[in-house]
């Protein structure tokens, strides 16, 4: 009996000691005010330290250079996807593949709620690289001219960091490696494949030359414009140009439509509500002395709010059809081109934006975090933001010393690789912060 009493006493002491330590450990990682590990090192310092570990930095550079040498276009990212899967296998991170043909969706953490997502796009552009360096594109006519090789690398870097601190995650991080951003179809197909199931918040980054290396910029609410394309075929009646009275001239109708379209923004829109309508293609006729049967015009339109975007689309349709009718022609208009589908405005959730800003300030310093203006560029990350709250962020790469001064989609575009650990740390810190605060909000200790 005495032995049994001693055994019970020892078990009670062990349980109390271990249970108390475990409880303290849980509290310190789930309270934003106590975001430190038991040894007193803050989670932020751990994440930044892991991202900047020399071996990790060199690994990220090697990954990025492999990706850069082997660019693949939209929905052709097979080798890119394989490289991502190989690295995830080495890190011991589980994933689903294929998702939306070439996409990869990885999971780190408890496997239970809350769920937060991080996204990187994978595809390259049909551009011939003109930057002369040791890891230049090996594929003629294809190039990572928009920084997506950097985006993938930073997310893999974040995966490595999060995997090392996975036992501190108070929920689950979903890593979305998305195809076909440049085509505007990748995000939609990933959503259709169910990647946002149970996701409470999502975060994405784009490298930009506009800001110096390491400077972070974003804004709440309307950030990037919605982008639509249109193509109109105006049909008349062809004939000899010497006898125009016997023809119905589609060239004249197309010309009138182009001029009238310019008045939508200049005379019908609120000057404080930025919008764009640009006609960038005209095709009609094959001979100088023949009036053709038809002419085609095409272009783009952009706006920051969904209301303005949809209204602009309807007005473009009305103007083209009306001008065609005035000149006795008919018009057929398409707004869903296969190469350039419509993309909604990118709208940052204010609460998620504030969290991103706070995390960014902790990683790069408050002096390196800026409020960005609105940009007329578009991004298919907007499709994710239409479904769940989230935030999109610009991360600067501009550095004259390394030649990182050219805009995206330029054959001279390059990045400063010193940005890679910065981006990896911001990704990982946001995910950890979101899960910790969400757990604190929903659980009481």
> Which amino acids are annotated as binding site for Mn(2+), given as ranges?
146, 148, 182, 206, 409
Binding site per annotation, positions: 146, 148, 182, 206, 409
* φ, ψ of residue 375 in degrees (nearest 5): -120, 145
Neighbours of 188 (CB within 10 A): 17
Q: How far apart are CA 271 and CA 151, in angstroms?
A: 35
Q: Are strands 199-212 and 390-398 parallel, antiparallel or unpaired?
A: parallel
Q: CA angle, 224 as apex, 218 and 229 as ends, to 5°?
A: 165
Report CA-CA distances (Å) from 361 to 44, 68, 156, 185, 211.
11, 30, 22, 33, 16
Sign of the Cα pseudo-torsion (371, 372, 374, 378, in order):
negative
Is the distance from CB of 356 to CB of 393 less than 8 angstroms?
yes
Q: Minimal CA–CA distance to 118: which of 73, 175, 38?
A: 175
Residue written as tokens 């330029």?
A: 410
Helix H or strand E segment including 161: helix 148-164
Q: How far apart are CA 300 and CA 184, in angstroms?
A: 14
CA Rg, the chain, in Å? 27
Q: How far apart are CA 252 and CA 258, in angstroms?
A: 10
Secondary structure E strands in 213-352: 216-218, 221-224, 226-235, 239-240, 275-284, 290-291, 294-303, 330-334, 346-348
- Which strands form 172-178's sheet, in the order they lie side by side? 94-99, 103-109, 172-178, 115-121, 199-212, 390-398, 216-218, 369-371
């Amino acid at each position: 009996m005495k032995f049994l009493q001693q055994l019970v006493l020892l078990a009670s002491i062990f349980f109390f000691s271990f249970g108390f330590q475990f409880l303290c450990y849980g509290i310190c990682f789930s309270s934003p005010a106590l975001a430190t590990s038991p040894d007193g090192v803050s989670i932020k310092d751990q994440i930044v330290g892991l991202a900047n570990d020399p071996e990790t930095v060199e690994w990220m550079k090697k990954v990025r250079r492999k990706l850069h040498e082997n660019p693949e276009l939209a929905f052709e990212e097979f080798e890119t996807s394989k490289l991502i899967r190989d690295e995830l296998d080495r890190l011991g991170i589980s994933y689903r593949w294929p998702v939306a043909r070439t996409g990869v969706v990885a999971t780190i953490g408890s496997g239970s709620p809350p769920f937060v997502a991080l996204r990187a796009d994978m595809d390259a552009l049909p551009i011939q690289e003109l930057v002369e360096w040791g890891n230049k594109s090996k594929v003629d006519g294809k190039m990572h001219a928009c920084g997506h090789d950097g985006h993938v690398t930073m997310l893999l870097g974040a995966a490595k960091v999060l995997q090392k601190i996975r036992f501190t995650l108070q929920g689950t991080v979903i890593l979305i490696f998305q195809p076909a951003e440049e085509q505007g179809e990748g995000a939609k197909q990933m959503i259709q494949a169910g990647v946002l199931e149970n996701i409470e918040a999502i975060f994405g980054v784009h490298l930009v030359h506009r800001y110096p290396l390491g400077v972070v910029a974003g804004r709440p609410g309307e950030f990037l414009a919605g982008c639509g394309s249109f193509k109109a075929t105006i049909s008349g009646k062809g004939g000899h140009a010497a006898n125009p009275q016997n023809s119905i001239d589609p060239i004249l109708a197309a010309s009138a439509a182009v001029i009238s379209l310019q008045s939508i923004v200049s005379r019908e829109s609120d000057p404080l509500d930025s919008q764009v309508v640009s006609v960038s293609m005209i095709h009609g006729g094959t001979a100088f002395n023949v009036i053709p049967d038809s002419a085609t015009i095409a272009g783009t339109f952009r706006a920051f709010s969904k209301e303005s975007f949809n209204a602009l689309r309807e007005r473009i349709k009305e103007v083209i059809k009306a001008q065609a009718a005035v000149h006795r022609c008919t018009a057929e208009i398409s707004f869903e081109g296969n190469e350039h589908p419509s993309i909604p405005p990118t709208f940052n959730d204010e609460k998620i934006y504030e969290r991103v800003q706070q995390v960014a300030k902790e990683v790069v310093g408050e002096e390196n975090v800026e409020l960005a203006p609105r940009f007329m560029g578009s991004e298919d990350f907007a499709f994710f933001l239409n479904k769940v709250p989230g935030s999109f962020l610009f991360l600067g790469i501009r550095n004259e010393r390394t030649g990182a001064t050219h805009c995206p989609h330029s054959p001279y575009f390059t990045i400063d690789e010193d940005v890679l650990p910065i981006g990896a740390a911001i990704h990982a810190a946001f995910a950890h912060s979101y899960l910790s605060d969400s757990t604190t909000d929903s659980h009481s200790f």
